Amino acid sequence: MQELTSCSICPRHCQVNRNRQERGFCQAGANLKIGRAALHRWEEPCLSGTNGSGTIFFSYCNLQCIFCQNFEISSKHAGKEVSIERFVEICFELEQKGATNINLVTPTHYIPQIREGLKIAKKKGLTIPIVYNSSGYEDVTALRSLEGLIDIYLPDFKYFDDSLAIRFSHASHYFAICKEALKEMIRQVGKPQFDRNGTLQKGVIVRHLILPGHIDDSKRILHYLYHTYHDSIFISIMNQYTVTRLLPYPELNRSVSEKEYEEVIQYAIQLGIENAFIQEQGTDQASFIPSFQGEGV
């Protein structure tokens, strides 16, 4: 694919030739690589529905957060290379299993391949919503190439403070980049639309994962999101930060406390946020992390 010859698909603009097996920051090659494709019931209720979201977990990642709970596929690169044709088959297999939607998890570095696959799938009759589930660290030009193919955008909004983004994700200007990406996502899909069962068919849910010791940053993000978009988006306020290995930053070697989470939730209420999802305690357990043994690939 021409876009892989000098890769600028994500904001890092590495300009490596992935068609010749040159590797940029994300380390992805020219072929799709998938770690898992299965029904997943632990997304937000309006995404999981009754049967579960049809999640396709892509290997590699353009952000590489040091605390990533899916590090087996993001940094250890577990998974299996597949053709675009096989990707299309996987979408239909998930639909046949009763998936509420097709949920593309960490898809950014594979936008050209996914775009072509979705065009084929839709021509063949794939009708369930397509969810683009990403870190939020996106190139606007690349996102525009997906217009008309994505029904639901599910981006993270990880950091307000750029120093945190650099320290934990090696991503300078994260806030500025994520802000523009979110604007483009909302332009494409508009306000949330639900079916009669309360299942999301179109719209944007912004996820924010609270980091232990950094709730002030969380509050700044919530303030920005609500005062910019009000009820045009849903916000998912997450306490599921999971310690999977020892990290060089002491504050990250523990879970988010109940007190920290409650303080952020109370702040959201004070702001007037109503379109929100919150989590119960206990979501920081490793048992909530999917197994990446190639299921469904």
Please say if the pLDDT value at position 126 is more than 80: yes
Relative to beta strand 80-82, strand 32-40 is antiparallel
Residue pLDDT, tens place only, 7-62: 999 999 999 999 999 999 999 999 999 999 999 999 999 999 999 999 999 999 99
The arithmetic mean of pLDDT across residues 198-203, rounded, is: 98
Q: How far is CA 297 from CA 15, 37, 95, 136, 247, in A?
A: 29, 6, 14, 25, 31
**Sequence-separated (6 or more) residues with CB below 8 Å from residue 119:** 149
Q: Give SS3 for 57.
A: strand
Output the CA–CA distances (angstroms, integers) from residue 141 to 15, 28, 146, 184, in the order listed: 15, 20, 9, 9
Residue 265's contacts (CB-CB under 8 Å, 6 or more residues apart) are 237, 278
Helix, strand, coil percent content, the chain, rounded in steps of 5: 35, 20, 45
Q: Is-contact 154 134, C-beta < 8 A?
A: yes
What 3-state class would DSSP assign to 261? Answer: helix
Contact (CB, 8 A) for 221 and 48: no
Model confidence at 283, pLDDT cuts 50, 70, 90, reads low
> What separation in angstroms does the CA of 132 have from each of 68, 74, 153, 252?
18, 17, 5, 27
User: pLDDT value at position 285?
Assistant: 55
Buried b (16+ CB within 10 A) or exposed e, 221-255: bbeebbeebeeebbbbbbbbbbeeeeeeeeebeeb
Mean pLDDT of the chain: 95
pLDDT over 90, % of the chain = 92
| Tokens, residue 292 | 């990446």
**Domains of the chain (ranges, CATH numbers):** 33-288 (3.20.20.70)
In a 13 Å sphere around the CA of 288, the CA atoms on its Cβ side amount to 17
Does pLDDT of 148 surpass 80?
yes
Tens digit of pLDDT for each residue in 71-106?
899 988 899 999 999 999 999 999 999 999 999 999
Q: What distance, in Å, lies between the first and last C-alpha atoms of the chain?
A: 22
Residue 293: its pLDDT value, please? 81
Write the pLDDT tens digit of every residue in 208-226: 999 999 999 999 999 999 9
Mean pLDDT (whole number) for 106-116 = 98
Query: Is residue 93 within 8 Å of 46, Cβ to Cβ?
Result: no
Neighbours of 85 (CB within 10 A): 10
Task: Identify the helix (H) or strand (E) that includes residue 168.
Answer: helix 162-169
Per-residue pLDDT, averaged over 164-172, amounts to 97
